[in-house]
Amino acid sequence: MPRGIPWDDLLKDEKEDNNPAPKQEEVVEERDAQKDMKNIGKHFAFGLICGSLSGAAMGMVDVIRDPVAMAAGKKAVTTMKVLRYTTLFGGFFGTFHGLRKTIDLYNPYKSDDKMNDRLNSSATALFITNIPLVIVPSLRPMIPYGIFLVALDTINMFTEQK
């Protein structure tokens, strides 16, 4: 008798499983300052790359919307706009990721709910990284885009469930 469609198993609830897999204990490795800095650097680099790519895309959209930048012979204006967005978004998102990882490492989890603690560290890092954007008037239009990047990162965090 055919077992069914191969993806039927994906819809099964975990409670229906007759042989649940044994839970693995979390292994806590020793930390030192050098490993912490390397870990923070990796998160900063990840944020820098993702933010730079997002910034370049937003810069290109802004260039397309600006007829002066699209005019023939205005390559310098176009390049400056794209580079400005790239560096701003890269710096913002890289700083956010590095700061969030620093908060995660040096502010130990207080509760059993790690998701709540990670959400709190994300909110704290977002608040701190938005301070320069609020203070400098020319950077204020970037605030919604920065919040959107962080919102996407938070949604990803909830879907990972780590």
Between CA 122 and CA 114 the distance in angstroms is 12
Between CA 108 and CA 117 the distance in angstroms is 9
Q: pLDDT tens digit string along 111-142? A: 667 778 888 888 999 999 999 999 999 889 88
> Tokens standing for 2?
């055919």
DSSP H/E element including 148 = helix 143-160
More confident residue, 60 or 2: 60
* Mean pLDDT rounded to a whole number for the chain: 81
Q: pLDDT tens digit string along 35-61? A: 889 989 999 999 999 999 999 999 888
Between CA 40 and CA 96 the distance in angstroms is 11
Looking at residue 62, its pLDDT comes to: 85
**Is 19's pLDDT higher than 80?**
no
Work out the burial of residue 97: count CB atoms within 10 Å of its CB; fewer than 13 is exposed, 13-18 middle, 19 or more buried: buried
More confident residue, 79 or 1: 79
Q: How confident is the model at residue 9 (pLDDT cuts 50, 70, 90)?
A: low
Percentage of the chain beyond pLDDT 70 is: 75
**Is 110's pLDDT higher than 80?**
no
Q: How confident is the model at residue 25 (pLDDT cuts 50, 70, 90)?
A: low
- Mean of pLDDT values over 83-110: 89
